[in-house]
Amino acid sequence: MQPMSGMPSQDGRDPVEREARFVIPATVEQVVLVASLFWALAANRPFFAAALHGRDSADPATWGFVLAVAVMLVAVHFLVLVLVSNRWTVKPVLAVLVIATAFATYYMARFGVYLDPSMLRNVLRTDATEARELLAPALLAQLLLYAGVPLLLLWRVRIVNRSWPKATLVRAAALLAAFAVAIAALLAVFQPMASLMRNHREVRYLITPANMLWSLGAVAAADARGVAVPRQPIALDAKPGPAWAQRRRPMVVVLVIGETARAANWGLNGYARQTTPQLATLPVINFSDVTSCGTNTEVSLPCMFAPVGRRDYDEARIRGTEGVLHVLARAGVAVHWRDNQSGCKGVCDGLSNDSVQSLNAPGLCSDGRCLDEGLAYGLDQRLEKAQGAQLLVLHQLGNHGPSYFRRYPKSFARFQPACENDDLQRCSRDEIVNAYDNALLYTDHVLAHLIQLLRARAASVDSMLLYVSDHGESLGENRLFLHGMPYAIAPDVQTKVPMVMWLSDGMRGALGLDLDCLRRRAALPAAHDHLFHTLLGVLDVSTALYEPRWDLTHDCRAPALAAQSR
Ligand SMILES: [Zn+2]
């Protein structure tokens, strides 16, 4: 029988009263204070580890420092959250943050991730397939503990109803008190804190969940600026250069944008393992010291197509203006972008493009992912019909982690045992490196296959292949995994990338290129910054934006060589 309201139920208690037993009455300020305390203590282990680096744990001053910093974290989070909370918003705001923070702390602790604006942008652009690969059983336990329990408590909180004059008064007093506490705590540790922030500015991106709120605000502000202003066209003077009139054959440049391949594991660079056996048998030119513009795709991709990239880095300018693909298209080069990943990040907007997924290449796609061989699909027919000057950009899935083992067919699983778990923590470092190297073997195969296709048509089409990776990867060095470290402190393994060039004989002749000269150039430092000008030089598009010293081929082409010998 359903007990009626006010009627004693079987256990002798009023149901209204029984429900009230599980309710936690609290004010907005109390709830926010508890949440701030919880996060300061439970979500900031990486921050405290970084802040305490080099300090003696036996020294009482260290404990004073820890206490003051913890108080400061609580006060700052309290201040920010109280400002956006009232009795209606406090629970939804905290609920979203509880979940986001549980995810964030997991990845920060596991992979050494810093949640700066560029990392957050990367996270926001993660597609469903990428997200699925990042989910691991250990994450579930973390979520249950750090999100499940707090959410349960939050759910049972009933915000105390107060008259608005009283609520306003309490709010103002709480804000003032928090502000005073934050200042007092800051003054107590000002000296060490100031030197920490001066020497390791990136540490602030470990303060959780403030890092997410800050980065989210920065990304939203940048996007709002970007939406307000359409991409500015550049190089309006771009036009075909003098060589176009003399060409007898069509010219096709294939630019392969690699993913997460690092220079340190590249066979052609002298890695202990031969991870590039097929390229090693081909007459390719290997650039052995190439630096990427960023440590994640979101930064590197727009930057590598910009006229000025890392050498005078300005994210707003790069995102706000067109890149080299638009300049080439304006001069009459037929540009096509083929994607096997998460899109071109704006650099191919408005240009011809397709995705491997949409090609229905037989046997190459499953679970929303395709193997990189799909990038070559239909290339031979394209070469057969080729006219004029063409640039085909192929955006690889490459060594996209953490599931390296999903990036190659079984026949490339040469290095064993290879990690076959989406959760890297379940594998030994050797197994992780084995899977990573197997994925490189597959990229080696894809590139060699593309070169074979170009070679087979070399009698009728002058062609070139240029491969460069977008950024590197950490494979457990200094306990770091994956990539995306703030650029200033990123290890070399995340910023040094492989780059390889191949040219058909006809192409070499058309460019008047001295290969020995280019080989010597390839041993010197190069960077993503060279891409814009090298493409303009090779495809002979003239514009005032072209800077010969950033064109890797310039000094090795006939007119420059002739000028040198004069
Ligand atoms: Zn990438």
The residues pairing with 353 across neighbouring beta strands, listed in sequence order, are: 337
Q: Which of 525-529, 540-544, 554-558 has the lowest mean pLDDT?
A: 554-558
Q: How far is the CA of 494 from the centre of ligand 1 (A)?
A: 10
Please tell me the distance between residue 300's alpha carbon and the centre of ligand 1 in angstroms.
7
Predicted confidence at residue 6, as pLDDT, reads 40
- Beta strand 526-527 with 285-291 is parallel
CA of 485 to the centre of ligand 1 (A): 12
pLDDT for the residue numbered 135: 78
What is residue 8's predicted lDDT score, i.e. its pLDDT? Answer: 43
CA–centroid distance, residue 523 to ligand 1 (Å): 24
Would you state the pLDDT for residue 39?
A: 94
Q: How far is the CA of 528 from the centre of ligand 1 (A)?
A: 13
- The string over 539-563, giving b where at least 16 C-beta atoms fall within 10 Å of a residue's C-beta and e elsewhere, is bbbbbebbbeebbbbbbbbeebeee
CA of 470 to the centre of ligand 1 (A): 5
What percentage of the chain carries pLDDT values higher than 90?
A: 65
Is residue 230 predicted with pLDDT exceeding 80?
A: no
pLDDT at 547 over 90: yes
Q: Which pLDDT value is given to residue 560?
A: 67
Range in 219-233, 255-269, 305-319 with the lowest mean pLDDT? 219-233
Ligand 1 centroid, distance to 400 Cα (angstroms): 7
CA of 58 to the centre of ligand 1 (A): 43
Phi, psi dihedral angles at 475 (to 5 degrees): -120, 45
Q: Give the distance (Å) from ligand 1 centre to CA of residue 223.
A: 20
Query: pLDDT value at position 565?
Result: 59
Pairing of strands 496-503, 251-258: unpaired
Query: What's the pLDDT at 4?
Result: 39
Residue 232 has pLDDT above 60, yes or no: yes
Residue 283 predicted with pLDDT over 90: yes
489 vs 135, more confident: 489
**CA 259 to ligand 1 center in whole angstroms:** 5
**In angstroms, what is the span from residue 522 Cα to ligand 1's centroid?**
23
How far is ligand 1, taken at its centre, from the CA of residue 160, in Å?
Answer: 49
The pLDDT score that the predictor gives to residue 540 is: 96
Instruction: Tell me, in angstroms, the distance from the centre of ligand 1 to residue 211's CA.
Output: 22
Q: How far is the CA of 397 from the centre of ligand 1 (A)?
A: 8
Tell me how far the alpha carbon of residue 224 lies from the centroid of ligand 1, in angstroms.
24
For helices 60-84 and 90-111, the axis angle rounded to 10 degrees is 140
Residue 217, pLDDT > 60, answer yes
Q: 124 C-alpha to center of ligand 1: Å?
A: 14
The yes-or-no verdict on residue 90 having pLDDT over 70 is: yes
Q: What pLDDT score was predicted for residue 109?
A: 83
pLDDT one-digit tens code per residue, 555-565: 999 876 666 65
The per-residue pLDDT for 503 is 98
Better-scored residue on pLDDT, 505 or 119: 505
Q: Which DSSP helix (H) or strand (E) runs through 526?
A: strand 526-527
Comparing C-alpha atoms, which of 53, 101, 45 is closest to residue 200? 53
113 alpha carbon – ligand 1 mean position (Å): 15
Distance 297 CA to ligand 1 centre (A): 4
Confidence of residue 133 (pLDDT cuts 50, 70, 90): confident
With 90 as the cut, is the pLDDT of residue 197 above it? no
Asked whether the predicted pLDDT for residue 72 surpasses 50, the reply is: yes
What is the distance between the alpha carbons of residues 222 and 217, in angstroms, rounded to a whole number? 9
Helices of type H across 460-557: 492-495, 505-511, 515-522, 530-538
Average per-residue pLDDT in the chain? 90
Ligand 1 centroid to Cα of residue 109, in Å, is: 21
CA of 296 to the centre of ligand 1 (A): 5
Task: Give the confidence band of 450 by pLDDT, cuts at 50, 70, 90.
Answer: very high
Compute, in angstroms, the gap from residue 385 CA to the centroid of ligand 1.
Answer: 32
> Ligand 1 mean position to 147 CA, how many Å?
30
Interval between CA 483 and ligand 1 midpoint (Å): 8
Quote the pLDDT of residue 313. 93
Taking the centre of ligand 1 as the mean of its atom positions, its distance from the CA of residue 471, in whole angstroms, is: 6
Q: How confident is the model at residue 377 (pLDDT cuts 50, 70, 90)?
A: very high
Give the residue ranges of DSSP H helices in 112-163: 117-124, 128-134, 137-143, 149-155
125 CA distance to ligand 1 centroid (A)?
12
CA dist 211 and 187 (Å) reads: 22
CA of 183 to the centre of ligand 1 (A): 41
Is the predicted pLDDT of residue 255 greater than 80, yes or no? yes
Burial state string for 289-315 with b = 16 or more CB within 10 A and e = fewer than 16: ebbbbbbbbbbbbbbbbbbbbbeebeb
- C-alpha 398 – ligand 1 centre gap (Å): 9
Q: How far is the CA of 161 from the centre of ligand 1 (A)?
A: 50
User: What confidence tens digit (pLDDT) does each residue in 13-60 have?
Assistant: 555 555 556 899 999 999 999 999 999 999 999 899 888 888 888 888
Q: How far is the CA of 331 from the centre of ligand 1 (A)?
A: 29
pLDDT (0 to 100) of residue 562: 65
Q: Ligand 1 centre and the CA of 180: distance in Å? A: 44
Reported confidence tier of residue 551, pLDDT bands at 50, 70, 90: very high
> What pLDDT is recorded for position 539?
97
Dist. CA 302 → ligand 1 center (Å): 11
* Ligand 1 centroid distance, CA of 143 (Å): 27
